[in-house]
Amino acid sequence: MDRMLVVVFDNEGKAYEGKRTLLDLDAEGSITVYGYAVVTKGANGTVSVKEEDDYGPIGTLLGTTLGSLIGLLGGPLGFAIGLGTGAIAGSAVDLNEARIGGDFVDDINKTLTPNKFALVAEIEENWTTPVDTRMEAIGGTVFRRALSDVKQTIHQENVDAMKADLAEMKAEQAKSQADRKSKLDAKINKLEAKIQEQLQKAKEKRIAAERETKAKVQVLKDKAAAAKAKAS
């Protein structure tokens, strides 16, 4: 099952030990790691990425499910991404993008207080004991949540509602006097721009989801090939 895993530690050294443990579990075949990051929360609540899986199959955190969760952990101030770059990625993410519930984020934030560190990872695991046992042994507090399916329903309903408004405005415009027509023109142009913006965002989300899915499939293929080569 695909899950989001967050392990909170009291200090940076333990967080990196947790990262090594996570990768060891992947190498052993106990879990599959799709992507990870070590983060810390500053005094102002902003989450900064200390280290990420830059060269892994998922690639940069931006636009991924993993990056969306980290953005939510940073609250309204968002998060800084990149090793020491300080570039602000912002928190323009929602729970739908992160594919987890708000209660999960709330539970983590109660433990991930300022100056603490966390290992955040997207993984596949069939049972929880390997991760829990190893992480708890080094002082980590483990949170996990199965990832929900990506939902497009709410977005589509929003676009459909705007299209309905647009149709009514155009019908009204056809019957209006010249002065009223010009005012409706402005409203119609603005609404059409919003619809196009929503459609573009939906396309970008779909492409990002497809890219993540392909990357995960490749991870599993690579692991199967490695296991076959080892057995032969």
On average, the pLDDT of the chain sits at 79
The residue among 55, 27, 88 whose CA lies nearest residue 37 is 55
Q: Are residues 39 and 79 in the same domain?
A: yes
Q: Hey, is 151 helix, strand or coil?
A: coil
How many folded domains does the chain comprise?
2
Determine the Cα–Cα distance for residues 31 and 138; give it in Å rounded to an integer: 18
Q: Are residues 133 and 219 in the same domain?
A: no
Q: Are residues 28 and 109 in the same domain?
A: yes
Q: Are residues 99 and 61 in the same domain?
A: yes
Determine the pLDDT at residue 148. 63
- Angstrom distances, CA of residue 109 to CA of 19, 38, 113, 179, 211: 20, 15, 6, 54, 29
- The highest-confidence range among 11-20, 77-86, 181-190, by mean pLDDT, is 11-20
Model pTM score: 0.67
- The highest-confidence range among 130-134, 208-212, 224-228, by mean pLDDT, is 130-134
- The highest-confidence range among 57-66, 90-99, 195-204, by mean pLDDT, is 195-204
Please state, for a pLDDT cut of 70, what percent of the chain lies above it: 79
Q: Which has more confidence, 95 or 90?
A: 95
